[in-house]
Amino acid sequence: MNGLYLTLAIPLSGTALLGLVSDPARAAWINILFSAATFAASLWLALGVLASGPLLSPGHFFYIDAFNVYLVALTAFVGMTTAIFSRPYMAHEIHKGRVTPPRMRLYHAMYQGFLFTMLLALSTNNLGMLWVALEGATLATVLLVSLYRTPESVEAAWKYFILCGVGIAQALFGTVLLYFTAAGKISPETGLLWTALHEVAAQLDPTVVSIAFVFLLVGYGTKVGLVPLHNWLPDAHSEGPTPMSAVLSGLLLNVALYAVVRAKMLVDGALAGGAGSHNPELAGHLMMAFGLLSFLVAALFLHRQRDIKRLFSYSSIEHMGLMTFAFGLGGPLATFGGLLHMTVHSLTKSAIFVTVGHASQIAGSQAIDRIRGLIRTQPAVGWGLLFGTAAIAGFPPFGVFTSEFLLLSATIQSWPWLTVVLLFGLAVAFAGLFRTLHPMVYGPVPEGQGPVRANMLPVAIHLALVLWLGLSIPDFLAAWFDQATLLISGGRLL
Amino acid sequence: MVDLLSVEAWLLPLAQTLLFVTAAPLLSGWVKRVKCRLQNRRPPSLLQPYRDLAKLFGKEAVVAETASPLFRATPYMVFASTLLAASVVPLLAVHLPVAAVADVIVLVGFLALGRFFLALAGMDVGTAFGGMGASREMTISSMAEPAMLMAIFTLTMTAGSTNLSSAIEHLLAGGLVLRPSFLFALLGLMLVAIAETGRIPVDNPATHLELTMVHEAMILEYSGRHLALLEWAAQVKLMLYGVLIANIFFPWGIATTLTPEALAGAAGALALKLAVLAVAVALAETSLAKMRLFRVPQFLNLAYLLALLGMLSHVILEVGA
Amino acid sequence: MSFAQLALEEQAILLLAALILFTSFSLLAQTRIISSIHLFAWQGGLVAATTAMVAFVHHEPHLYISALLTLGLKALLIPWMLHRLVMQLAVAREVETVVRPALVLLAAAGLVVFSYYVALPIERLSPLATRNTIAISMAVVLLGMLMMVTRRQAVTQVVGFMSIENGLFFAAVVATHGMPMVVELGIAFDVLVAAVLFGVFFFQMRESFDSLDVDRLNRLAETGEGEEIAP
């Protein structure tokens, strides 16, 4: 229990404290310190939950089970490593004059605020608070997207704000509808608690729950970046500071997907009740359709990108689509694959954004055509980009390959012909990533290009973890995923 | 059931129509009077419209050489159709024998007939103003009519009948009910009434400014008794809309039995309602400026929208509540 | 039960709901920035009045707090902030051109029918007299979205956004007699922060584009040129 409160209290107090620190260099260190403390607290919490099972806070306001505790730990971990990367990166940006110290104060305070809202969204048991926290995550990051105050960044932030704001409003409507169906079944005070709703799921009216799910999927799906509601995502990723891109892609999308999966668990419970005319897998089928569409569209759009950060944000949409598809498919195998994919994608994608950030600092541009010869100018960055791209494209020894393999096997079992579509999409995405990679890494070095101050440690750790997960999943982690799989799909894999 | 063939049964509706026609100039006089007061002018006598009509009747009617027989027939057609329309609207009492034909659609039909002849006559002489007025009038009415029908249908959906008499009875029996659809229908119908009776801000009955006039442009060529009939018909039309709004939305006071006391009470109540309504019209005419002609479609779109909202809120909020 | 059998207070709730829908339509039709802010304030006031009415009819004291919150936030504070911003940015008298206003209003009527159709199965379940207003609340949300789609001025888009929030709050009040207090406070906080951030954005846009016309925000194409980082 204390682990949970610490996990939430540390970033919250960090927000307040960093709002007072005006020296960017010192603030960066404090930021790392708080992120590390959050990670430690989350580990404490995770170990507690693993040892003694799900945790329901007094008053039932927080609920931690195997599913969200691993996301809490993952969020805190990537938050910490990105904070480490952010220190030299943002120092370089200040040096170049792209940001001013007052804006850095906003940046650091909001970095912690963003972590807090995500952790709150993951740990709360109240669906209303989940919405409030996710909206809060938008609010915390929207000023960071326009941190550079260029016309492009203001435009991207505006799009992000409006699209996510409107989208997530639909989710609130869905939440109201859920609360509405629960009226009479459970008392009004507990009517929005996920655990209470999950208990009475079978008694909820299937029609209203279906309508509510459509609203929830559209709402939170906007934040996941599902096509056709994805327009904000590449803009916000490419125009904001790179550490923000790393946490947006690596974490926020996961949290939004987490909200969708939680909603799906309720809907599955309500529809399995067996009211004749309702498709019991409605939620799953909707998620599969949206997921597959996002996956294919994003894979095709990869080929048309000329900005390196946009390239990898489309790759994020592609992978989020794949995960949505996996959770929609249901069943232990696909769910296990989806959980694993969430993890490896977070780790890999944040590592890639870190590398890409340094790469564009070296080249002085985010244009793919201008980034050349990284491996000769700064070998660490070049190798990082090469390995990161290989990992995200699904090259064998890496964890992404394992999770995609699991997902494909699950698809062959239940929807064999969709396997062809998935394989086609993976091939297209693979080609889209690699056609531009070679010149960026090996091409001729432009004149006057020199190395920058970079901390490649986070990248190394992330990629090593992904490699480890690809070679052999450690027992404790497998058991952990298995518990979460049981919660979501109702069956065990191992 | 009233015996439709007995003479007595027809006397009362006849008297009612007669009252309608004779009281119409009085209402116009009252509106003018209130307006004068509001604008700090000395008001003419309440009976001035009667004097005007009498004077016009006494004058020789001049008809243009190019005019066809249609031109001569039109004042009578217009007056007759307006008269018939007025006879359809329950003025003091429901349950009259003509109540069987007191249908909204008949009412709208009579009004359309009158307008049709007026527009034809406007073009008949071949002057520029007449044609212009006719085209404007038809433009306005083509947009006002759907709005009016929509508003009326909203009401009749609640009452379950397009018969005005039984609709009013139904509403009267229901007591005070705050129906959202009625609010919208009332507002929509008021806008339509303003447009159809040629009041500010759509048209100004008091000017002959060539750029803006609509109704006056059509009857510019008329004189003498022809003009008197047309003016009178316009006054009846104003009263008709007033009575329609007063009796449908505020039906209290209308006589449901045919006793002298009930009829006297109904007359008093109606006079009061119309007097208040006239004050509202005068207030609006004093405070608003006439709008440009190409803004009129927007005005009528608003009327249509209000009527549509009335219909929607009836279906959504009131059915199955 | 027919409409006439409802208590007068319940009829008043439905009447207020219809008026809220009317303000949504008026917002769609209104092209003057300052007038749409005033209309938005009226809408907030009506939502607050409905909330208070629901609290009165159903004896739900906590809804009085929500009503006060709505009145303070949606009818007074946010309109006041927007009003002040519009004055500072000197766009108060600007008039927007809406493409095909009649078509927009027709589409709006279509959306109302659509929300009625969607809300029908939901409403059948509710024992509350106000259940028919769920369709209205959904329509207010959708009309707010339509407003955001058809407008090009940042300020009016924000008004549309806030009107969506009004619709959501209204939905919570009429469908379930409000959400738990902690959630409502959280939502109110989010809305307030959003309003402040929108204000910040107006200035940022003004600085970068010299206009609040979102059509000027067209630099980021789907494929995107690589961005140059200043040397």
Q: Do C229 and A304 touch (CB under 8 A)?
A: no
For A121-132, letters b (16+ CB in 10 Å) and e give: bbbbbbbbbbbb
* CA-wise closest residue to A116 among A128, A104, A129: A129
Q: What is the pLDDT of residue C76?
A: 94
Q: Which of A143, A156, A192 shows the shortest C-beta gap to C197?
A: A143
Residue C110's closest chain B neighbor by CA?
B312
Residues C164, C141: Cα–Cα separation, whole Å: 4
Q: Do B321 and C8 touch (CB under 8 A)?
A: no
SS3 at position B126: coil
Residues A291, A450: Cα–Cα separation, whole Å: 41
**pLDDT band at A276; cut points 50, 70, 90:** low
- Running DSSP on this structure, what letter comes out for residue B92? S
Secondary structure (DSSP) of A55-108: EE-TTS-BEE-HHHHHHHHHHHHHHHHHHHHHHHHHHHHHHTTSS-HHHHHHHH
Chains C and A touch (3+ CB pairs under 8 A): yes
* CA-wise closest residue to C123 among A331, B111, A208, A334: A208
- Running DSSP on this structure, what letter comes out for residue B5? T
C195 in A contact zone (CB under 8 Å): no
For residues C226 and C186, the model is more confident at C186
Average pLDDT on C174-199 reads 89
Residue C1 reports pLDDT greater than 70: no
Q: Is A417 exposed, middle or buried (0-12, 13-18, 19+ CB in 10 A)?
A: exposed
Q: What is the pLDDT of residue B321?
A: 54
**pLDDT band at C231; cut points 50, 70, 90:** very low
Q: The tokens 């960017």 sit on which residue?
A: A24
> What Å distances lie between residue A1 and A48, A117, A123, A480, CA to CA?
8, 19, 12, 19
pLDDT digits (tens, 9 = 90+) for C70-111: 999 999 999 999 999 999 888 877 777 777 888 888 899 999
Average pLDDT on A324-340 reads 92
pLDDT digits (tens, 9 = 90+) for A55-65: 888 888 899 98
Q: What is the pLDDT of residue C139?
A: 94
Chains A and B touch (3+ CB pairs under 8 A): no
Residues of B in contact with C129 (CB under 8 A): 321
**pLDDT band at C221; cut points 50, 70, 90:** low
* CA-wise closest residue to A192 among A204, A180, A206, A184: A180
Q: Do B317 and C14 touch (CB under 8 A)?
A: yes
Residues A326, A338: Cα–Cα separation, whole Å: 5
**pLDDT band at C230; cut points 50, 70, 90:** very low
Residues A431, A424: Cα–Cα separation, whole Å: 11
- Residue C11, min C-alpha distance to chain B (Å): 6
Q: What is the pLDDT of residue B171?
A: 84
Beta bridge partners of B280: none
pLDDT digits (tens, 9 = 90+) for A150-196: 888 998 999 999 999 999 999 999 999 999 888 878 887 787 899 88
Average pLDDT on A343-372 reads 91
Residue C130's closest chain B neighbor by CA?
B321
- Running DSSP on this structure, what letter comes out for residue B215? H
Secondary structure (DSSP) of B189-203: HHHHHHHHTT-TTT-
Beta strand ranges found along A327-452 (DSSP E): none
Q: Do A169 and C165 touch (CB under 8 A)?
A: yes
Residues C37, C125: Cα–Cα separation, whole Å: 36
Of all residues in chain C, the percent with pLDDT exceeding 90 is: 44
Average pLDDT on B305-320 reads 86
Q: Provide long-range contacts, Cβ within 8 A and 24+ apart, for B259-268.
A: B262/B93, B263/B92, B263/B93, B266/B92, B266/B93, B267/B92
Of all residues in chain A, the percent with pLDDT exceeding 90 is: 55
Residues A123, A9: Cα–Cα separation, whole Å: 13
SS3 at position B251: coil
Q: What is the pLDDT of residue B130?
A: 87
- Residue C110, min C-alpha distance to chain B (Å): 10
- The two tokens of residue B79 are 């007056």
Question: How confident is the prediction for chain B on average, in pLDDT?
Answer: 87
- The two tokens of residue A10 are 């540390």
Q: Which of C4, C19, C109 shows the shortest C-beta gap to B312?
A: C109
B160 in C contact zone (CB under 8 Å): no
- The two tokens of residue A138 are 């938008």
- The two tokens of residue C212 are 């609040």
Residues A376, A354: Cα–Cα separation, whole Å: 18
pLDDT digits (tens, 9 = 90+) for B273-284: 999 999 999 998
Could you give the residue ranges of the DSSP H alpha helices within chain C? 8-29, 33-58, 61-70, 78-89, 101-123, 133-150, 154-176, 181-209
**pLDDT band at C210; cut points 50, 70, 90:** confident
pLDDT digits (tens, 9 = 90+) for B47-66: 999 999 999 999 988 888 88
Q: Which of C190, C204, C218 shows the shortest C-beta gap to A149?
A: C204
The counts of H helices and E strands in chain B are 11, 0
Residue A229 reports pLDDT greater than 90: no
Angle, helices A66-95 vs A253-272, to 10°: value is 160
C24 in B contact zone (CB under 8 Å): no
Residues of A in contact with C192 (CB under 8 A): none
Average pLDDT on B294-298 reads 85
Q: What is the pLDDT of residue C208?
A: 84
Residues of C in contact with B302 (CB under 8 A): 29
- The two tokens of residue A318 are 């592609």
Q: Would you say the pTM of this structure is higher than 0.80?
A: yes
Cβ proximity of C10 and B318 under 8 Å: no
- Residue A482, min C-alpha distance to chain C (Å): 33
Dihedral class, residue C55 (left if φ above 0, else alpha if ψ from -120 to 50, else beta):
alpha
Which of A72-86, A283-297, B49-63, C97-111 comes out lowest in average pLDDT? C97-111
- Running DSSP on this structure, what letter comes out for residue A491? S
- The two tokens of residue A28 are 């960066």
Residues B224, B230: Cα–Cα separation, whole Å: 10
Q: What is the pLDDT of residue C229?
A: 53
Cβ proximity of A141 and A161 under 8 Å: no
C135 in B contact zone (CB under 8 Å): yes
Q: The tokens 């469908």 sit on which residue?
A: C175
Residue A190's closest chain C neighbor by CA?
C180
Residues C55, A111: Cα–Cα separation, whole Å: 40
The answer for B 281-300 residues in CB contact with C (under 8 A) is 298
Q: Which of B181, B308, B321 shows the shortest C-beta gap to C2?
A: B321
* CA-wise closest residue to A244 among A90, A99, A390: A90
Helix (H) or strand (E) holding A416: helix A416-434
C3 in B contact zone (CB under 8 Å): yes
Q: Do C220 and A142 touch (CB under 8 A)?
A: no
Average pLDDT on C65-71 reads 92
Q: Which of C17, C25, C109 shows the shortest C-beta gap to B317?
A: C17
CA angle A100-A142-A31, nearest 5°? 55
**First CA to last CA across chain A, in angstroms?**
29
Residues A57, A73: Cα–Cα separation, whole Å: 18
Residues A182, A194: Cα–Cα separation, whole Å: 11
Residues B86, A219: Cα–Cα separation, whole Å: 57
Residue B261 reports pLDDT greater than 60: yes
Residues of C in contact with B309 (CB under 8 A): 18, 21-22, 25
Q: What is the pLDDT of residue C209?
A: 82
Kind of pairing, strands A55-56 and A63-64?
antiparallel
Q: Which of B180, B312, B320 shows the shortest C-beta gap to C15?
A: B180
Average pLDDT on B180-208 reads 87
Cβ proximity of C170 and C20 under 8 Å: yes
B315 in C contact zone (CB under 8 Å): yes
- The two tokens of residue C228 are 């140059």
Residue C117's closest chain B neighbor by CA?
B316
Residue B258 reports pLDDT greater than 80: no
Residues A68, A259: Cα–Cα separation, whole Å: 10
Q: What is the pLDDT of residue C82?
A: 93
Question: How confident is the prediction for chain C on average, in pLDDT?
Answer: 86
Residues A254, A145: Cα–Cα separation, whole Å: 19
- The two tokens of residue A326 are 């996996």
Q: Which of A207, A310, A370 shows the shortest C-beta gap to C224?
A: A310
pLDDT digits (tens, 9 = 90+) for C121-178: 887 777 777 778 889 999 999 999 999 988 888 899 999 999 999 999 999 988 888 8
- The two tokens of residue A413 are 């079992």
Q: What is the pLDDT of residue B1?
A: 46
Q: Which amino acid is at A206?
A: P
* CA-wise closest residue to B315 among B192, B194, B150: B150
Cβ proximity of C214 and C157 under 8 Å: yes
Residues A92, B289: Cα–Cα separation, whole Å: 64
pLDDT digits (tens, 9 = 90+) for A410-467: 999 988 999 999 999 999 999 999 888 888 988 888 888 888 888 888 899 999 999 9
Residue B215 reports pLDDT greater than 90: no
Q: Do B321 and C102 touch (CB under 8 A)?
A: no
Q: Which amino acid is at B164?
A: L
Residue A254 reports pLDDT greater than 90: yes
